[in-house]
Structure 1
Amino acid sequence: MQNSLLIDAARDYVTAQYQQHPRPDLVYHNLEHTHQVVQAASQIAAHYRLQDDELLAVYIAAWFHDAGYLYGPGNQHEENGAKEALHFLQQQQVAENVQQMVQGAIMATKMPQSPKNLVEQIVCDADLFHLGSATYSTRNKLLRQEVALTHEQEIPATQWLAGNIRFLTEHHYWTDYARTLQKQQKEENIEKLKKKLEKKNKEAQDSAAAVVPAAGSAPATATEKVKEKKLKKPERGVETMFRITSTNHIRLSSMADSKAHIMISVNSIIISFMLTVLVRRLEDYPNMIIPAIIFLTTSVTTVIFSVLATRPNVTSGTFTKNDIAKKDANLLFFGNFYKMQLEEYQWGMKQMMEDSDFLYSSMTKDVYYLGVVLGHKYRLLRISYNIFMFGLIASVLAFVIAAIFFPVKA
């Protein structure tokens, strides 16, 4: 069964289980949460180059990671969920290595989390992805409500806030992607919890003089709003966006170079073989001259375009004060400053760092031109691969036609 069909089957199976085993008290660990974890797992997994079996294990584990709540006590839901996932996978006759990966990923989400490989890390981060999201406050309220329903007791607000602060502070994401993407929002969530706890403690301490805080509450609230706005400055989010985008572009550039290297290596071997072995035999097999020429031309042309895709383009390496004044120089790219003196470059960087518009403009240009270079590389690579593919087909057909219709006479 194809992986996409297996994933759809897992979704339908888990959805049916939630419908057949209704748990009104599960206001947090419900089907909505499962959908959110699957979506987060998909987002994180897309960042990494997983094998098909690994990607399948991530999706299946995400669907079943909390299904154990339907079959027993909450403190054993990982074990029960892993058993149910194994039962499903065995029914679908899925490979044993996938079964092991799915069980390992579900068990790795047990607190404290203990992932041992990338598949388990992705599922663990997806399970707690909301800790670094703007929906944390809403999800946290639902979790508190569920704890109160399942344990039939209300947890004091100060105790709940202190526990959440401790949990978020000690928690860390396992994948680089989640750490980079969720760090800023997670820190903001911690700050909000600390403010709430501070407010609750102050209310408890000043309960005997409740009128005084009420009279002075407006300034305090205004101050908190100002601080909150400062914490929500867009700069960190923008810098995270630039960092992730640049990293993705560099990774794609590395992949393009690897693809070009494959084409160069393969066709260099073909050309070497053609020149050292096949050419010597053409006198005995004149009918193979045209197919050999087609084959050789294909390999040479493929190598040319692959080399063009990886050939570096060096720019002038200098900038002027007029460029800085007009904000035209991108000092983040080495090609614009490698011929400059250190003092001049330091001066230019200082000017850029003192002007946020200039700084973000330079970062935008850097990302843009990285994309332009990537587009040029992949366009040449596509031509190279097309030439190799169609040329190889034409060469094989030419050899077959020459051997069948124009055989060498004895």
Structure 2
Amino acid sequence: MPSTAQCRICGDQVNEFYDFGRQPLSDAFPAPDADHSSEFFFRLAVGLCQGCTMVQLMEEVPRDRMFHEEYPYVSSGSAFMREHFEGLAKRLLATEMTGDDPFVVELGCNDGVMLKAMAEAGVRHLGVEPSGGVADLAAAKGIRVRKSFFEESTAREIEAEDGRADVIYAANTLCHIPYMGSILAGVRALLKPTGVFVFEDPYLGDIVERTSFDQIYDEHFFFFTARSVREMAARNGLELVDVERLPVHGGEVRYTLAPAGERTPTAAVAQLLRHEEEQSLAEPAALEAFGRNVTRIRDDLTALLRRLKDEGKTVVGYGATAKSATVTNLCGITPDLVSFVCDTTPAKQGRVTPGTHIPVRTPEDFAADYPDYALLFAWNHAEEIMAKEQAFKDAGGQWILYVPDVRIVQ
């Protein structure tokens, strides 16, 4: 039976609309010989707040279980994403960082790909990154990094040491953090009155429209829309002043917040709000329909993999992404259906996938004996990956995709 919870933004009631069942930590890749009986699982379910309309997880996973010294995701692993962050840095330098001695703070700076461009421009900067391993990678590039979670107390310490920031930025970070009140109080304390808080995260509108359900996993607690972000900002003395749709990670929005009354919202804000109303994103019926589409894709993908197995075909996964944990565990995809997953991340290689324990191997293993089919978990990088793996196609290999529906492509 669907459950209810209290909204982490406004305190109103959150009504569950889909249950993904028992799920593991999406970035916890165990060793093959590990004691899997101790593997952490939780119930992954998502709901809609009937007050502020924020979509959020029904249960919170403790943050120190997800973000720690061995956190394996590296932002600069994709050439496309490197260009994305470098392009944003150039834009901020030209628009928001033009005063005397500008200062930028990035929440969840990962391995420092965006701040590296700031450092090379001679701009004062600070990355706040709780995952020690990737923070060390940033520091090795000459980035100034503070190893900690960002909250109000952190912000006040930074303000006392460095002064206020012209820009506070976060990419694929804010949606991870349930304690939003402390985060935004920290933003208010650290941001100059003329400054901006810019963050980009997966967009609920794209998730619903494309049925990209694998964007829902333990690390993504909130699923933002312009309407819910506007409500969240207003409760914390901030105002939504700009939005920009982004093609990265399967569809995101870059939101710009400023202290209330300091800037005039752009026309793009009103336009996206209208679009969301037309899409009925705040209506339970639209989200329940999304849930039915998830179930359809689950059934179609499982049926396809079983058919290919019965036909004696070989299937390998491509990209041991965090979001693939949702797919494999929801669909019950184990090594009998997908023999291994290839991934370029050294920290994941030689381990097994969370929950389903599919071996993770190198791209060299993929190329050594091409399978008949590759299940593309990293579908948000499809164009980049397919171009790189032309030899797989030339050998007769075919790709399996499941967003927005299950299909085979050459």
Give the TM-score normalised by the residue count of structure 1: 0.24
Tell me which protein shows more helix as a share of its residues.
Answer: 1
Ranked by relative contact order (alpha carbons within 8 Å, sequence separation 6 or more), the top structure is 2
Give the TM-score normalised by the residue count of structure 2: 0.24
Tell me which protein shows more strand as a share of its residues.
Answer: 2
Please tell me whether Structure 1 or Structure 2 has the larger radius of gyration of its CA atoms.
Answer: 1
